[in-house]
Amino acid sequence: MLKVVSTKQVRLGMFVQELKGSWIDHPFWKKAFKLEDPSDLKKLQASVIKEVVIDISKGLDIAELDAAIEPPLSPVVEIAPEIPLPTPKPIKKTARISAAAEHEQAKRVINGSKKAVASMFHDARMGKAVSAEAAMILVDDIAASVERNGGALISLVRLKNKDDYTYMHSVAVCALMVALAKELNLSDDETKQAGLAGLLHDIGKAGIPSDVLNKPGALTDEEFTLVKLHPERGHKLLLEANITDAVVLDVCLHHHEKVNGLGYPHKLKADEISLFAKMGAVCDVYDAITSNRPYKEGWEPGVSLQRMAQWADHFDDSVFKAFVKSVGIYPIGSMVKLKSGRLAVVIDQSPKSLLTPVLKVFFSTKSKSRIKIEVLDLSKSHEQDSIVGHENPLVWGITDVNEIWSQYEMW
């Protein structure tokens, strides 16, 4: 039997079937679990969640608790005998909105996802099974944000700090996989599979020591060999959790394969690698090289695409070209030089053309100094300026490009 009880009434030994409220607001990535860890109880009671659903057939009932426990803060309400597990929702087709309009919601999704994925990795380290149903809830919200504006969440999640990298990388690859699947015209079901595969692709890193994953210097040969085990360890973890989706398993195991056959763990070549694994390879590398890592600073997005294009033996050509279209020839956060001699940073894509994004102009190469920030939409017919090419911020001594584009309140 299922009951709704106050969070204050919850005690160890109860089976939590559902947390009442948005997943973004609660401290767990999972939906249904037996409450056995005192730290989990503290997190639950310190959260904004006021009520939970317990299943007394799988854990303690209120009546089984000591009579000295404080009286209920709200009446116990019996409800229907079963709550269905969450299933992937169809991707809701919504009108595209600007990156600025999606900014706050994207931040909320990112913050909630970070908390949920960190908890998911923690549970995996503790030997607890990964829940595909719970993970799919994250995919639904990430996919919805990408549908509203693909660049907003993808660009913001790139701003992860070094300590958050392992968790936020999973969120970023999920969003990139969804955007790429849309560009490839995959079905809604395939797009959700791609997103789930992206979210879980690195779950095997839960079995790699943190001091190795976060090492600030170069890995030793032994450490690198250990890290290279994460695809197989992740594949094993997923199977143990009864996650049998072929796409999710394949991307987890093969996202480090290269078309030249020099990847790992199976040295697959070209057509031996599935479409989804090829997608995972591109998305994984792009987020890795554009993010700050414990041992290196991330590259600027546009420069990263240029360098990836030179690795012809690494990625599938058609998948890579579709990826560039999905993030933009000039991704949000890219610094570009204009025909007028000014420098600008991309703040949004234009639905009209990948060559005419929305920019913040902020620097004059002629005077070599900052100028008053101006928003420029190159897709407008009256705009005469145009992009000459990508520009490396460090060449001009500019270190605050991320701050410039991400401060939407300035425009």
* pLDDT, average across residues 216-222: 87
pLDDT at 87: 53
Tokens 């409220």 label which residue? 21
Q: What are the sequence ranges of the domains in the chain?
A: 2-78, 99-327, 335-410
Cβ(159)–Cβ(180) under 8 Å?
no
Which among 378, 390, 387, 383 has a CA at the least distance from the CA of 349?
378
Model confidence at 79: pLDDT above 90: no
Listed in sequence order, the residues at least 6 apart from 409 whose beta carbon sits closer than 8 Å to its beta carbon are none
Cβ(249)–Cβ(272) under 8 Å?
no
Tell me whether strands 2-6 and 77-78 are parallel, antiparallel or unpaired. Answer: antiparallel
- Residue 91's alpha-carbon distances to 67, 141, 187, 201, 254, in angstroms, are 48, 10, 10, 21, 26
pLDDT at 91: 63
Note the pTM of the prediction, 2 decimals: 0.79
- Residue 20's alpha-carbon distances to 12, 82, 136, 140, 148, in angstroms, are 18, 15, 18, 18, 26
Q: Which residue has the higher pLDDT, 119 or 49?
A: 119
pLDDT at 59: 87
Model confidence at 71: pLDDT above 80: no
Model confidence at 339: pLDDT above 90: yes
User: Top-level CATH class of 99-327?
Assistant: mainly alpha
Model confidence at 116: pLDDT above 70: yes
Q: How confident is the model at residue 65 (pLDDT cuts 50, 70, 90)?
A: very low
Neighbours of 353 (CB within 10 A): 11
Cβ(359)–Cβ(375) under 8 Å?
yes
Burial of 190 (0-12, 13-18, 19+ CB in 10 A): middle
What's the token pair of residue 60?
Answer: 């303690």
Helix (H) or strand (E) holding 19: strand 15-19
Is the Cα torsion angle 284, 129, 124, 34 positive or negative in sign?
positive
The type of residue at 183 is: E
